[in-house]
């Protein structure tokens, strides 16, 4: 087997975003595009020769071909062992777990998460470090810089590797080990949760549906919910991972999992419904005629997580990304545990988790996780909720209403304006930013702005500073608008506008969030001069 250095030209668009590199498949397929990126990544790692690397993916189109390219580069770069999920499949949380379990120096995860799939869809490559945590800022900046100067990569003339059979194969100095995609993760969930206790819910007749959206979690969910916990056969739907997700957009929210939402608002609704995204790190939970807002979910998990024996006495603190609603803040306060506010993106939770400052964290974008592994974890979130239902004997709706009764309901909504011209979106943000000093005291549609700032973060563990993470506009302590640009799109720009409003008037707890937040939504369009700067009047996605 020959190892050769191949000359290459750098691409100038390989800067990492919120979660690694995300591009259209057509971009990824360009000559040496993956080769450049992966070699740039390896060039930024230290002392990896002879060490273990994990490779996983969500199975979307091009996963299989990209993996073969990456394997050749990794072998040429002299990794000692490469652990790879069968058929190249590992969910993001399973990859994170496998990295730690097998003491790898990190892992490459091929996924564009909840972005659309199919041959014309998106593809993504991200790297998790030895803690199974998304590459921290320092490393992503280094890799981005390296992609702009790279002039060679290493590869080999080895044949494609058979990834369908579990076992080991040797190529040069590297052992390639194909492992079950699900076994390690499922065992770990059984260590964390009391499966016997959860099983009683099903034994006592709880009806359940889990929508894997034809994405990566199907095999995990069938094994856990049907085979082990005893949910009725067929409770897991869209359970076969398909390269094009069977035409579904694998993003579990009110827009893209509408079929599930519609079912939950009929008389035939099961007692509990959940769904997860392309790579299995996001979750959505629904109850009959009831949607559990992810920000409320984080608040309730903070209240009850340590009723689960694995977490008893371990709730050191909790963190939310800044745009996540302040519902969890009240719980942290009443429980007297620290609350941290981080920029958007799971990588900012990593240091807090490693340092033991927090036990639990979450984002409004349907992400939650704990110190059990350092990615967000969709199936974990569902199991945590089922455990809490089993521990408390209450329903999702009861627990949520109790939260509202105690501290008011915080309406939370994200309005996304997708596919904007990048220049327009940047101008809008720049103008808004320039207005910040003049905003306090301004009245818009009868609401007075009390504070405005551009969110900056100092990592409490490393003191690393991160600026420009979203423009926050506050109207007293109970109403807020946040503007930021998405960092996960594959082309153009997406403006994210987060709206929050707390009401303590129980007569309004059942208001429709769109109505409750209508004024704030209108204000967001006025103060950003949205129509003039982008030509848009209405969001393209509301979640």
Catalytic residues, which ones? Answer: 113
CB of 9 to ligand G1P, least distance (A): 29
Of 149, 228, 155, the residue nearest 188 (C-alpha):
228
Least distance (Å) between residue 40 CB and Zn ion:
23
d(CA 168, CA 510): 57
| CA–CA separation, 452 and 473 (whole Å) | 4
| Contact (Cβ atoms closer than 8 angstroms) between residue 543 and residue 414 | yes
Residue 19 contacts ligand G1P per CB under 6 A: yes
Binding-site partner at residue 365 among Zn ion, ligand G1P, none, CB < 5 to 8 Å by type = ligand G1P
Count of CB atoms situated within 10 Å of the CB of 386 = 26
DSSP tally for the chain: helices H, then strands E: 18, 28
371: β partners: none
Contacts of 49 (CB under 8 A, 6+ apart): 77, 78, 79, 80
- Cα distances (Å, whole numbers) of residue 508 to 78, 392, 398, 405, 413: 62, 26, 17, 11, 16
Min dist CB 222 to Zn ion, Å, is 19
Binding marks (x or -) toward ligand G1P, 363..402, rule CB under 6 A? x-x-x-----------------------------------
Cα 41 to Cα 17: distance, rounded to the nearest angstrom: 14
CB under 5 to 8 A by kind: which of Zn ion, ligand G1P, none does 279 bind? Zn ion
Distances (CA, A) of 26 to 29, 77, 117, 422: 5, 26, 12, 20
Q: Could you say which residues in the range 108-127 bind Zn ion, by CB under 5 A? A: 113
Q: Whole-number minimum distance, CB 403 to Zn ion, in Å?
A: 26
Run of H or E including 51: none
Cβ proximity to ligand G1P, 214 vs 321, nearer residue: 321
User: Which residues from 430-489 bind ligand G1P, rule CB under 6 A?
Assistant: 486-488
235 near ligand G1P, judged by CB under 6 A? no
Cβ atoms of 375 and 395 closer than 8 Å:
no
Residue with tokens 């009806």: 207
Closer of 111 and 174 to Zn ion (Cβ):
111
For residue 385, how many C-alpha atoms fall within 13 Å in the half-sphere facing its CB?
A: 30
Nearer to Zn ion, 106 or 367 (CB): 367
Q: Are 384 and 301 in contact (CB under 8 A)?
A: yes
Output 19 or 40, the one with its CB closest to ligand G1P: 19
528 binds ligand G1P (CB under 6 A): no
**494: nearest Cα among 409, 428, 396:** 428
Binding range to Zn ion, per CB under 5 A, among 186-194, 274-282, 410-418, 492-500 = 274-282
Per DSSP, what are the bridge partners of residue 443?
A: 448
Verify binding: residue 281, Zn ion, rule CB under 5 A. yes
Q: Contact region for ligand G1P (CB under 6 A) — 49-57, 210-218, 341-349, 418-426? A: 341-349
Note whether 226 binds Zn ion by CB under 5 A.
no
Spell out the SS3 assignment of 183-247: HHHHHHHHHHCCHHHHHHHHHCCCCEEEECCCCCCHHHHHHHHHHHCCCCCCCEECCCCCCCHHH
Question: Nearest approach, Cβ of 66 to Zn ion (angstroms)?
Answer: 17
- Judged by CB under 6 A, does residue 147 bind ligand G1P? no
The option from ligand G1P, Zn ion, none interacting with 487 (CB < 5 to 8 A, set by class) reads ligand G1P
Q: Which residues pair with 84 in a beta bridge?
A: 55, 178
Residue 19 contact among Zn ion, ligand G1P, none, beta carbon within 5 to 8 Å by kind: ligand G1P
* Residues 468 and 454: beta-carbon distance below 8 Å: yes
CB nearer ligand G1P, residue 77 or residue 344: 344
Give the residue with the Cβ less far from Zn ion, 94 or 530. Answer: 94
Q: Which of 479, 496, 501, 525 forms a contact with ligand G1P (CB under 6 A)?
A: 496
Could you tell me which of 467, 471, 466 has the C-alpha nearest to residue 436? Answer: 471
Q: List CB contacts of 85: < 8 A, sequence separation 6 or more.
A: 55, 56, 57, 94, 95, 98, 178, 179, 180, 181
Cα separation of 247 and 264, whole Å?
21
Task: Tell me: does residue 279 bind Zn ion (CB under 5 A).
Answer: yes
Closest contact distance (angstroms) between CB of 349 and ligand G1P is: 10
Q: Show the binding pattern over residues 282-311: x = contacts Zn ion (CB under 5 A), - = does not.
A: x-----------------------------
Q: Tokens 């419904």 — which residue? A: 273
What is the size of the binding site for ligand G1P (CB under 6 A)?
A: 14
Selected range binding ligand G1P among 89-97, 297-305, 340-348, 518-526, rule: CB under 6 A: 340-348
Q: How far is the CB of 489 from Zn ion (least distance, A)?
A: 14
* List 250, 343, 345, 470, residue binding ligand G1P (CB under 6 A): 345
Interacting positions 151-210 with ligand G1P (CB under 6 A): none
Give the shortest CB-137-to-ligand G1P separation in angstroms.
14
Which structure tokens are listed for 341? Answer: 């506010």
The site string for ligand G1P over 288-327 (x = CB under 6 A, - otherwise) reads ---------------------------------x------
Range 347-366, binding ligand G1P (CB under 6 A): 363, 365
Q: Which residues contact 149 (CB under 8 A, 6 or more apart)?
A: 10
- Least distance (Å) from ligand G1P to the CB of residue 273? 21
Residue from 277, 296, 375, 424 that binds Zn ion (CB under 5 A)? 277
Figure out which of the listed residues 32, 39, 63, 113 binds ligand G1P, where binding follows CB under 6 A. 113
| Helices 518-528, 422-435: crossing angle, 10 deg rounding | 100
Footprint of Zn ion (CB under 5 A): 113, 277, 279, 281-282
Footprint of ligand G1P (CB under 6 A): 18-19, 113, 321, 344-346, 363, 365, 367, 486-488, 496
């Amino acid at each position: 087997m020959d190892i050769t250095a191949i000359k290459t030209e750098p691409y100038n668009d390989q800067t990492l975003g919120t979660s690694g590199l995300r591009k259209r498949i057509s971009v990824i397929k360009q000559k040496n595009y993956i080769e450049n990126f992966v070699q740039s990544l390896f060039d930024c790692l230290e002392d990896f020769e002879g060490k273990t690397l994990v490779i996983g993916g969500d199975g979307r189109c091009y996963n299989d071909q990209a993996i073969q390219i990456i394997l050749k580069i990794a072998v040429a770069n002299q990794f000692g062992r490469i652990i790879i999920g069968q058929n190249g499949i590992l969910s993001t949380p399973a990859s994170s777990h496998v990295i730690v379990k097998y003491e790898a120096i990190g892992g490459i995860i091929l996924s564009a998460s909840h972005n659309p799939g199919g041959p014309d869809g998106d593809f993504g490559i991200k790297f998790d470090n030895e803690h199974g945590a998304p590459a921290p800022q320092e490393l992503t900046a280094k890799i981005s810089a390296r992609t702009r100067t790279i002039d060679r990569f290493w590869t080999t003339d080895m044949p494609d590797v058979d990834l369908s059979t579990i076992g080991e194969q040797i190529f040069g100095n590297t052992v390639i080990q194909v492992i079950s995609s699900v076994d390690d993760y499922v065992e770990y969930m059984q260590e964390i949760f009391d499966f016997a206790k959860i099983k009683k819910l099903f034994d006592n007749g709880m009806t359940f549906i889990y929508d894997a959206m034809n994405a990566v979690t199907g095999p995990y969910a069938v094994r856990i919910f049907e085979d082990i916990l005893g949910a009725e056969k067929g409770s897991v739907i869209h359970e076969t991972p398909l390269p094009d997700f069977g035409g579904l957009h694998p993003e579990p929210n009110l827009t893209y999992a509408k079929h599930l939402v519609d079912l939950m608002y009929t008389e035939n609704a099961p007692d509990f419904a959940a769904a997860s995204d392309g790579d299995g790190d996001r979750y959505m939970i629904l109850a009959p005629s009831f949607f559990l807002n992810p920000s409320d979910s984080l608040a309730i998990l903070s209240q009850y997580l340590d009723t689960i024996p694995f977490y008893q006495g371990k709730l050191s603190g909790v963190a939310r990304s800044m745009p996540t609603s302040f519902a969890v803040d009240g719980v942290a306060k009443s429980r007297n545990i620290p609350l941290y506010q981080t920029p958007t993106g799971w990588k900012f939770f990593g240091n807090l988790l490693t340092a033991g400052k927090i036990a639990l964290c979450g984002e409004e974008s349907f992400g939650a996780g704990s110190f059990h592994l350092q990615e967000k974890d969709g199936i974990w979130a569902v199991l945590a909720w089922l455990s809490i239902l089993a521990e408390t004997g209450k329903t999702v709706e009861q627990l949520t209403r109790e939260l509202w009764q105690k501290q008011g309901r915080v309406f939370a909504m994200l309005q996304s304006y997708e596919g904007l011209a990048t220049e327009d979106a940047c101008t809008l943000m720049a103008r808004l930013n320039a207005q910040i000093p003049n905003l306090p005291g301004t009245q818009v549609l009868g609401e007075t702005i009390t504070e405005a700032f551009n969110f900056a973060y100092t990592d409490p563990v490393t003191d690393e500073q991160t600026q420009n993470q979203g423009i926050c506009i506050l109207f007293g302590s109970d109403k807020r608008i946040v503007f930021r640009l998405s960092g996960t799109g594959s082309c153009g720009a997406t403006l994210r506008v987060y709206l929050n409003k707390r009401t303590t008037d129980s007569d309004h707890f059942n208001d429709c969030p769109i109505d409750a937040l209508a004024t704030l939504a209108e204000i967001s369009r006025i103060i950003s001069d949205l129509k003039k700067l982008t030509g848009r009047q209405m969001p393209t996605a509301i979640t």
